[in-house]
Structure 1
Amino acid sequence: MFKVFVERGKSSNVLMTNFFLGWWGEREAKPIIYIHEIEGVDPGRVISYSVSKDIAQVLTTLQLGHDLEVGTNAQEAFANGMRGFLKLTSRRDVSLARVIAACEWSFDSDSEHVSAMKVVKVCIGLESIYGEDNSEGGLTKSLSDRCAYSLANDVFERKRIMKNCRELYKVRSSIVHGVKRKLSAADSDLLKFGMEILTGSIDKEVTLLPD
């Protein structure tokens, strides 16, 4: 669930990428993390978890969001920000599998170094939420429609989301069929759009869950 934790943390601005890391050089990624339990103002026990090397590398690039760094009640802000993560992981409900998978694909896309593969992973994340297990044909149109009707606030935004989803899937198709290996500036804009609607779609699904 570490991928879900990071994805939800970044979505709620509890966590953020340390953009100054490039100035200082990459830190060594150790495949283990330590979680400190806090009781009031006193530190509690420390729990260690082993993680894969790719997750460990991403964790070295993260820092707390600005609101937590300057806020007077960081613990409360952190708890409020991670409420979505707790909604997804604190109950055993098979219906949440698609949303959890979408979080993981969002994490994978965000941490991917090859821009073309970012597009593919974003699209898989969208399919996790809006696709069907037995879907045959017409995926692009049905996904575009479902995404637009779920997220749009008006008819104009709905049309924009539908159009951009179709364009995003054209880029994905070119990549998976070996036609395209690098993204153009327009493709990069579509990737940014895809990441935004994937995060927005996950946010929407989480808000529908009971507390």
Structure 2
Amino acid sequence: MSKTTRTFEIEDYVVRDAQEGERAPRMEGYAIVFNSDSSLIREGGRTFIERVAPGFCRGSLEGVAEGRHIHALWSHDRQKPLGSTRNDNLVLREDEKGIWFSLSTERFERRELAAARDGDLQVSFGMRKIDYDWSVRDDGVKVGLIRSAEVFEISPVVFAAYNATSAELREEMIRSHDEWEASQRVEEVVEEQVEDKIDVSRELVLIELGRARIQAR
């Protein structure tokens, strides 16, 4: 599976002051709540929502204990590392509700820390999906379920949330289908024009061949 990113709203979100032994405030909350609907996704010609199954990244979390660490970056930028599970600047924990995280803001710039305190940030996971299922809700909305994935990084991002309602999702799906149909009609028109030109060219060739035969006589 190819690498992808997924952005989630943070639940129970706080930026708490540094405690004894800590050098900076920390962002904390649930980066992923299991089996909850994501924001609208348009990818690979599909319009859908996505859910995450319990235990989807258990292998990655177990790998941390074995020395395979997960990194924190600012907005997926490798030039702006924020820490990792190696040094506890990043802590990830799974429970019945979802994936809880705690991230030190020590390497945040002033405006980034202000955005964190104002609640303007979401959390985005860099992952490689391993096991994935499709289904359709009763209202016709397509649902992708991430059953298993390899998580290799987590990023705070500034991203406008799109908490789509079912009506908005259906409208978006209809719009996507209409756009696809329109593109198909354009392709059909182009193909017809090409075929017409080919037919005209054939007729011209036949006329020229006829003239050449007449002259040869």
TM-score higher than 0.5 here? no
Larger radius of gyration: 2
| Greater relative CO (CA pairs within 8 A, separation 6+) | 2
> Which one has the bigger helix percentage?
1
TM-score (norm 2): 0.23
TM-score (norm 1): 0.23
> Which one has the bigger strand percentage?
2
